[in-house]
Amino acid sequence: MSDFWSYYIIAIVALNIGGCAWLLMWTRRMDIHDMPADGTTGHVYDGIREYNKPLPRWWLGLFWITIIFSLVYLVLYPGLGKFEGVLGWTSHKEVAADEKAYQEKYGAMYAGYAKLPIEELARNDAAMKIAGRLFANNCATCHGADAQGARGFPNLTDSDWLHGGEPAKIEETILHGRNGVMPPWKEAIGEDGVRNVAHYVRVMASLQSENAYSVEGAKVYASTCIACHGPDGKGNVMMGAPNLTDNVWLYGGSEGSLIKTIGEGRIGHMPAQQDLLGPERVHMLAAYVWSLSHKEK
Domains identified in the chain and CATH numbers: 3-88 (no CATH), 92-177+272-292 (1.10.760.10), 180-270 (1.10.760.10)
Mean pLDDT value across residues 130-154: 95
pLDDT value of position 171:
97
Q: For residue 131, is pLDDT > 90?
A: yes
Predicted pLDDT of residue 112: 94
Could you tell me the pLDDT band of residue 52, with boundaries at 50, 70 and 90? confident
Percent of the chain with pLDDT over 90: 79
Which tops the pLDDT comparison, 52 or 227? 227
Q: What is the pLDDT of residue 30?
A: 61
**Average pLDDT, integer, range 186-200:** 96
Rg (CA), the chain: 32
pLDDT at 18: 95
Query: Dmax over Cα atoms in the chain, in whole Å?
Result: 95
- CA–CA gap between residue 172 and residue 165 (Å, rounded): 10
pLDDT score of 118: 96
Mean pLDDT of 148-175: 95
What count of residues does the chain have?
A: 297
Please say whether the beta carbons of 235 and 283 come within 8 A: no
173 phi and psi, to 5 degrees? -65, -45
Q: How would you label 213-238 residue by residue, b for 16+ Cβ within 10 Å and e otherwise?
A: bbebbeebbeebbeeebbeebebebe
